[in-house]
Structure formats: C-alpha cells, structure tokens
Amino acid sequence: MKKTISALVFAIAIIVAAVVLGNAFINRNKAQQTISVTGLGEADFTSDLIVWEARYTRMDADLSAAYADLERDKMLISEYLRENGIDLSNVVFSAVNTSENNEPIYGDNGNYLGSRFTGYTLSQTLEITSKEVEKIERISREITQLLNQGVQLYSLAPRYYFTQIEDLKIEMIARATENARLRAEQIAENSGAELGELISGDMGVFQITGQNSGEDYSWGGAYNTASKEKTTSITMKLKYNVD
C-alpha cells in the first residue's frame, strides 16, 4: 500500500513538472510584442543675434603712406558707425595684415626672369556682434556709401544666431517625444492592443535650416547661419512593449 501511494505521488510530481517546464518553454519562445515609432519636433524661430564683418584695404608703394590711408579709413568707418547708433565698444578691429605685391618679369622668349616689387597691400577687418539685428542689417547694406569717401570696403554677408538654443533643444525633444508617444498609442489602439512600458528611446540629430531654403539635412546636424528666419527640428525614436 505504501509503495502504491509513493508511486502515485511520484507520478503526479512528474506530470506537474512536465506541465511547468512545458509552459516555461512555450513562454520562452513566445515573441515579445513591441512597437517602434519615430516622432518629430519642429518649430520656426527668428534669430536674435547677428554677427557682421567687413574688410577694407589700401595699396601703395610706400608702406607708411598705405598705413596712413588705412588709419584714415578706420576713422571714417568708426564715425559712420557712431552716427548710425553703434556703440564702438561692440566693434572689434583686427590687426593690420600686410603683404608685398610683386609682378612677374619675362624675357623676349617668354622665359621667367624674376619678379618686380609693385607695392604693399594693407587690409583690416571689423566685426560687430549685436542683438540689434535689424539695425546691423541696415548698416551692412548701407555702409558701402563710404565708397564715395574713398574707402575700399567690402561688406560680408551677416551671420545669424539664436541665444536661447539650449532651451529650444529641450522644447524640441519634448515635442518629438510626445509626437512619438501619440503615434504609438494610435497604432496600439488600431491593433486592439494596449501600450505598455517604454523600452528605449533614441534621439536623432538636432537640425537648424533656413526657412523655405530647401537645405538638406546633414547626418552630423545642419546649423544654418545665413538665414535670419530658421526652422529647427529633431527626431525621437521610441520603443514600447504592447500588452
């Protein structure tokens, strides 16, 4: 009798163990249901900082005379900026760059014989960084009026920046994350499932392009400085469990 009971208990234990191991094997091989979505955060904004540069030059066979002319140009430029409401403490003048000019000498048969000194070229640049974007834009366009006073000045295209870029990045990440979550919820709802916990999140590259410029995104991140009106965007790729 005792042997019969022991055998029965042993048999039941084997059956229970088989069921448990069988369920474990089935669950192990059951694929985990997940949803992967990509959300976009995008916004237009206006630059609030401008950087403008200009260069002026003088040429003369006499170095002292060229330098004197360049100093005169600097005074005329400074006076022009002051009259147009620019604080000269915001104007940075570079060191004077000096180079010798030479022209080649050839013989009657076209052989190169050497070079002849023709004078000096002196150049200097000025740079203004300001939050008065419209004012600097106007000055950068109109400063060529100094040509009428004999100043050989070349105005470069302004560069535009945004001083609150870090706050903007955080806002775009939040928008992209929310956009991705809403997409995941919609997919889960349409498939009759319930969105589970977030498994992972990967942030894309922060991009800044000119509005309506047709610029291509860069794998390393575009950062437009040529346009005052810009568009910023970032993507977030999220992966969720689905119940």
**What pLDDT digit, counting tens, does each position of 60-114 carry?**
999 999 999 999 999 999 999 999 999 999 999 999 999 999 999 888 888 888 8
What pLDDT score does 14 carry? 46
pLDDT digits (tens, 9 = 90+) for 186-226: 998 888 888 888 999 999 989 999 987 777 777 777 889 99
- Tell me what the mean pLDDT of segment 163-180 comes to: 93
CATH class of 50-158: alpha beta
For the cut 70, the answer to whether the pLDDT of residue 23 exceeds it is: no
**H helical segments located in the chain:** 2-29, 63-83, 133-142, 165-190
For the cut 70, the answer to whether the pLDDT of residue 163 exceeds it is: yes
What pLDDT score does 219 carry? 72
What pLDDT score does 29 carry? 45
Q: Which helix (H) or strand (E) holds 101?
A: strand 97-106
Where along the chain do the CATH 3.30.70.2970 domains lie?
50-158
For the cut 60, the answer to whether the pLDDT of residue 4 exceeds it is: no
For the cut 80, the answer to whether the pLDDT of residue 10 exceeds it is: no
Do 187 and 240 meet the contact criterion of CB atoms below 8 Å apart? no
Burial classification of residue 232, based on how many CB atoms lie within 10 Å of its CB (0-12 exposed, 13-18 middle, 19 or more buried): buried
* pTM for the full predicted model: 0.77
Where along the chain do the CATH 3.30.110.170 domains lie?
33-46+164-242
Least confident stretch, 29-33, 97-101, 133-137, 176-180:
29-33
What is the CATH code for 33-46+164-242? 3.30.110.170
Backbone angles phi, psi at 158, to 5 degrees: -65, 155
Average pLDDT across the chain, whole number = 85
What pLDDT score does 127 carry? 97
Cα separations in angstroms, 29 against 109, 182, 199 = 89, 30, 19
Strands 229-242 and 195-203: antiparallel
Burial classification of residue 116, based on how many CB atoms lie within 10 Å of its CB (0-12 exposed, 13-18 middle, 19 or more buried): exposed
Rounded distance between C-alpha atoms, residue 230 and residue 47, angstroms: 7
